[in-house]
Amino acid sequence: MKEPALKLTQLEIGHQQKAGRKIVLLPPINITLTEASLVALAGINGAGKTTFLKTITGLHQPISGDIELFGFQPNKLSRSELAKMVSIVLTDIADDFYLRTEDVVAMGRYPHLGFWGKLKTADKTIVEDAMYKCGIAHLIGRRLISLSDGERQKTFIAKAIAQDTPLIVLDEPSAFLDYPGKLELMTLLRNLVREQQKTILFSSHDLDLLMRFADQLWLISPSKPIISGSPELLASSGKIGEYFNRNKLAFNSITGKFQSENSSAQSVFVDRNVTHYYWVVNALNRNGFALSKHDTVGFHVSDQDGNYKLTMADKQYICADIDELIHQILKQC
């Protein structure tokens, strides 16, 4: 039986103050990270995602509890061994003037190198490979400070890849990326898991992205114990709503999105087979309408030969596109 990549037992994370006082951020954590999976850590701001990641990678001391990395205890490993086990990508900024992208990525190889840090040919190949995978091979020779935020982020991700560790931990990796970049990143991470059996744990605010790409979600909250599950399970069971709900915002398990709660919103029922169902729902939500599960409401939208038929108590309208449909509904209110 293979050891899980990460096993946390009664782990308390937080900050140890002087005079024995301690600030514990989360309830004791008991959770396991299976190998070769892409797991996302999600929670509201300030919940402690970054501290969590720093603690499990050995950058921060836990208050109490056990951490096991691939069956080993981190404080029993030498720093060099630990460096070959887990790599990190943070939102730190390196502001040195002269470092080049390949210099940074090459530093990922340092735990594997000898005393002087000289790269062998095999190492250089790994470095180039990592840069290629991240789509920054064309940036070889460029200085770090001349890169855009997204390019810089990718450089550090390439470094983590070059470090060649079974576990990669990333803190808000999609923060600086534009939308295609975010997708590229997620695809890259997923490929690393599928093709190279890497275990990847990352934190993110970007719920949409997590739901689409992560194998598992870990939800944390200061008042509830950590739970894990597939995105779909957690969404449909309402757990996401529980862990994320705020005033005036509620998680809609049908659409998989957070919406402002508005009990007085007009309900609309939309047939599942209408054209571009997803976008019709989107437009309705945006205009303040609530989606109803039941047929017996004021507004009913159904398909009519590829067009939209809007049925109200006594009237019917045919609309050619979504804009017209919305326009019509608004007119009736």
Partner 1 sequence: MSSIFGKIPVGAIMAASVVMLILLGLLNLFLGSVIIPPEDVWHILTGKTQLDDQVKQLIVLQYRLPQAVTAIFAGAGLAVAGLLMQTLFRNPLADPSILGISSGSSLGVALLLLFSGTNTGLFLSESGWIGQTGLIMSALTGAFFVLIIISWLSRIMSDMVSLLIAGIMISYITGSLVGITKYFSQKEDLQAFVLWGLGSFSNVGQARLPFFAIAVALGLLLSVFLVKPLNLLLLGERYAANLGVNVKRTQFFILIISGVLTAVITAYTGPVAFIGLAVPHLARNLLGESSHRILLPAVMILGASLALACNLIARLPGFEGSLPVNAVTSLIGAPVVVWFLIRRKHLYSNGK
Residue 96 or 323: which CB sits closer to partner 1? 96
Distance CA 71, CA 169 (A): 17
**Total residues contacting partner 1 (rule CB under 8 A)?**
37
Give the interface segment with partner 1, choosing from 111-119, 225-233, 258-266, 293-301 (CB under 8 A). Answer: 111-119
> Toward partner 1, which CB reaches closer, 98 or 278?
98
Residue 74 binds partner 1 (CB under 8 A) = no
Whole-angstrom distance, CA of residue 205 vs CA of residue 258: 13
DSSP track, 97-128? SS-BHHHHHHHTTGGGS-TT----HHHHHHHH
Q: Check binding of 118 to partner 1 (CB under 8 A).
A: yes
CA atoms within 13 A on the CB side of 206: 19
Our finding on whether 104 is near partner 1 (CB under 8 A) is: yes
The nearest distance, CB 230 to partner 1, in angstroms, is: 29
Binding status of residue 94 toward partner 1 by CB under 8 A: yes
Q: Which is it for strands 14-16 and 22-24: parallel, antiparallel or unpaired?
A: antiparallel
User: Does residue 80 touch partner 1 according to CB under 8 A?
Assistant: yes
Question: Is residue 203 close enough to count as binding partner 1 by CB under 8 A?
Answer: no
By CB under 8 A, is residue 92 in contact with partner 1?
A: yes
Q: Closer CB to partner 1, residue 159 or residue 300?
A: 159
260 touching partner 1, by CB under 8 A = no
CB of 73 to partner 1, least distance (A): 17
Q: Is 136 in the site for partner 1 (CB under 8 A)?
A: no
- Least Cβ distance, residue 158 to partner 1 (angstroms): 13
Helix 277-286 and helix 322-332, axial crossing angle in degrees, nearest 10? 40
- CB of 54 or CB of 239, closer to partner 1: 54
Is the CA virtual torsion 120, 121, 122, 123 positive or negative?
positive
- For residue 285, report the phi and psi dihedrals to the nearest 5 degrees: -60, -45
Question: Per rule CB under 8 A, is residue 189 in the interface with partner 1?
Answer: no
Among 24, 83, 290, 312, binds partner 1 (CB under 8 A): 83
CB-based burial, 90-115: b 16+ in 10 Å, e otherwise? beeeeeeeeebbbebbbbbbbbbeee
3-state SS string over 203-219? ECCCHHHHHHHCCEEEE
Residue whose pair of structure tokens reads 């890259």 in the numeric block: 188
Q: Which of the stretches 53-61, 179-187, 220-228, 294-302 binds partner 1 when contact is defined by CB under 8 A?
A: 53-61
**C-beta closer to partner 1: residue 105 or 301:** 105
Q: In whole angstroms, how far apart are CA 45 and each of 49, 50, 243?
A: 8, 10, 12
Q: Which is nearer to partner 1, 94 or 330 (CB)?
A: 94
| Residue 137 binds partner 1, judged by CB under 8 A | no
Of 6, 26, 41, 82, the residue at the interface with partner 1 (CB under 8 A) is 82
Structural contact between residues 166 and 35, judged by C-beta atoms closer than 8 angstroms: yes
* Spatial CB neighbours of 108, under 8 Å, sequence gap ≥ 6: 87, 127, 130, 158, 159, 160, 161, 162, 163, 164
How big is the CA angle at 202 (ends 201 and 206), to the nearest 5 degrees? 145
In angstroms, rounded to a whole number, what is the distance separating the alpha carbons of residues 78 and 72? Answer: 11
- Residue 146 makes contact with partner 1 by CB under 8 A: yes
CB of 110 to partner 1, least distance (A): 5
Q: Which residues contact partner 1 by CB under 8 A? A: 54, 57-59, 79-80, 82-83, 86-88, 90, 92, 94-99, 103-104, 107-108, 110-111, 113, 115-118, 141-143, 145-147, 163
